[in-house]
Structure formats: structure tokens, C-alpha cells
Amino acid sequence: MSDLKPCDILFFSGGSALRGLSSELVKSPLNSTHIITVFDSGGSSREIRNKFSMPAVGDLRNRLISLSCSKEKWIISLMSYRLSKEESNNNLKKELENILKIPNEFIPLEKEDSSFRVIKKGLSYFLLKLSDGFNFKGASVGNLVLTAYYFLYSKNLYKAICTISTLLEVKHLVLPISEESVHLGVTLENNKVLLGQDVFSDKNKINHLDSSIKELFFTKSLERIEPIEVKVSLDVIREIKRARLICYPMGSFYSSILSNLLSDSVSESIKASKAIKVYIPNAYMDKEQLGLTLEDSINILLKSLTKNNLNIKPKEVLNFVLFDKKNLYMPLGQLKNIKNLEIEVIDRDLSKKSFLGSYDPKKLFSALKEFL
């Protein structure tokens, strides 16, 4: 990751929505940069964030695994492994300790190699220095290793990502949008306020969204609204300016896409970039887009990118909308209004023949390459 390769495509996203597309990127000679949110407050990320007051690492781990070129299946399996939610904490700690004794059910090695030593160093550090009072139920091993290296590198998330990227043989660049520990909040159209990404976005929780989202914001606290400006990594700004194609892809609309665009420095850098900019709306139901048409979604994206700044024209931050009409769950709205903004709307076959509700990764990647 230390080598500065050309940035052919830059994605703003969360961790899991681009899994299929990532598999195409792995096989391609093109270089991509992935700007990933670090604001998740649910699942095992919540325990890590509550305990250590740090950015969420789950989405970063997800994308790194998706982009892995490693032929060592045990590394992928172990870094993806999630501990039981039913076992006692003592038993879960013993399970982690046993993982460090090879060979075992995860690791077929008879002798330590460099990959095992990276994982061993991370897990050993977590168990020795960070485990006191930690709830291991449902914890991801990959998250624990990434968290350990965050502290081993004196709270430098970029260096921790570099280490895991090398371990997984990732050839593409994965960056956190920020290294600050903040959370997401939303105000709904009915003026209800929800704090925490898991409260308004977690698919495994009760849906608290009984009205459309009116505003997305950063908050320092989950207990009360504490607005905060988030400092974006200079590496992120550099990559935006270097990109040939900037993609706002499918994924949770507010928590994965728009959260990356909240900071003024991001929208200003996107405006300054000479890249082609394309939005790919969701083919599946996204509860964060409750009540929205495609036209509404495009206008909200534009508002997030322009911040109502008259010096930023819509066509400077968005050039194309790429979708498959037959595979779009939301109403279209009045797309002629979007075309009047000098934004081209492209409807083409991007779907799997046997399954609607998602895009065909090969077709989607082929369409993206045509913009380059």
C-alpha cells in the first residue's frame, strides 16, 4: 500500500455492498481506491468503540477481505471468523488462545510462517493488553487483530490497515474517511432524532425509521447530540484529486455513502477533481431511502455534495447516473429535472438474468470501465 499507484476508480462506501464488484477488481489490472466509513456503532464494533473510543474497523476489515488476493484460505477464514454469542466470555478467550496454538481447526500450519506471526502478534497483544473487561461475544477475529495493530501503532489506523492489507495481499488502496471517533445521527421528517448508525440502519434491529430522513449529522456522543466537525484524512483528499473516475455506488444511502461526503473538504476536493463522477443507485430495498424516488435520491446526493454552495454546480460533482430500470425498486420520479442539470441518466442492462435485486458484478464493472 505504500507504493502510490494510479487511481483509476475511487469508491465512497461502507464495507459489504461492493463484495461482488470487489471480486472483479481483484482480477483487473485497474487500480482502485476505497474510501470507507468508520462510524458504525452496532454489533461487535459497538463493543470495541465503547471500550476504546476509536473509529469503527468492521467495514474496513470487510473491504480488505473482499479485495484479498491471498491463496491461503485459512487467513481469509480466520479473519472472517466471528465468535459465538452464546458461549461464556472465559470460553471465548480460551478459544482465541487456542487459535494461537498451531495446528488447529483454522490454521493447518505445522510451523509458524510470516502470515501467522502477524495474526499471532495482533491477537496476543489484544489478549494481553486489551481484553480486561472486554465482551468477546460475537466479536470478529479480524476486528480484534485490526484493533490490536491500531494500538501497536500508537493509534495510527492507516498503519494498521497497511499491515492487514499486506497480510491479505490486497493490491488496491483502502482508506478510512477519517481517524476520528465520532458517530452518526439523523433527524427525520417528523423531527424525531436517532443517534447511532445501528439505531437507524442495522438490518438486524427493529426499524426505527417511521419517517424519511431529513438530515444526517456527526455527533461525538450517542447519549445526546454533540455536533462535531470531522477532519478528513489528507490521504483521502489526495486520492480524490488523483482519481480518474469517482463512484458513489450502491450501499446504505445515508450511513455508507452520504456519511463519507459530509465534510466540506470532501465536496470541495470532488469539485476540484477532473474525474468523471457517477452515481449507482441501489437495486435492492434500502430502508434508509424510505419514501424516496430516484429523483429524490439524486437531489439529496447533490445537496450533500454542493452543501447549497452556489459556487459548486451539480455537473461539477455528478456527471452520470447509471442504473437498470427493470431492477430498480424505487419509483423514478421526474428524471427530466435531473437531465436539465446537465447530468446524463443511463439505463442499461446490469442485472443477473436469474435474479433481480442486485447487479451483475461483471456487467457493472464493464459499464464502469467504459467511463475511463
Banded model confidence at residue 3, pLDDT cuts 50, 70, 90: low
Average pLDDT over all residues of the chain? 94
pLDDT at 5: 76
Q: What is the pLDDT of residue 2?
A: 46
Q: Judge whether residue 155 has pLDDT over 90.
A: yes
Q: Is the pLDDT of residue 357 over 90?
A: no
340 pLDDT above the threshold of 50: yes
In terms of pLDDT, which residue wins out, 163 or 45? 163
Sheet strands (E) in the chain: 9-13, 32-36, 173-176, 183-188, 193-195, 213-219, 245-248, 276-279, 320-323, 344-347, 351-352, 355-359
**What pTM does this model have?**
0.96
Query: What is the pLDDT at residue 203?
Result: 67
Structure confidence at residue 335 as a pLDDT band (50, 70, 90): very high
Confidence tier at 329 by pLDDT (50, 70, 90): confident
In a 3-state reduction of DSSP, which class is residue 22?
helix
The DSSP-derived string for 75-122 is: HHHHHH-B--SSS-HHHHHHHHHHHTSSS-SS---SS--HHHHHHHHH
Q: Which residues contact 99 (CB under 8 A, 6 or more apart)?
A: 78, 106, 107, 123, 141
pLDDT at 1 over 50: no
Mean pLDDT of 260-270: 95
pLDDT in tens, 163-222: 999 999 999 999 999 999 999 999 999 999 999 999 998 766 656 788 999 999 999 999
| pLDDT tens profile 295-322 | 999 999 999 999 878 889 999 999 999 9
Query: Do 152 and 57 meet the contact criterion of CB atoms below 8 Å apart?
Result: no
Q: How confident is the model at residue 148 (pLDDT cuts 50, 70, 90)?
A: very high
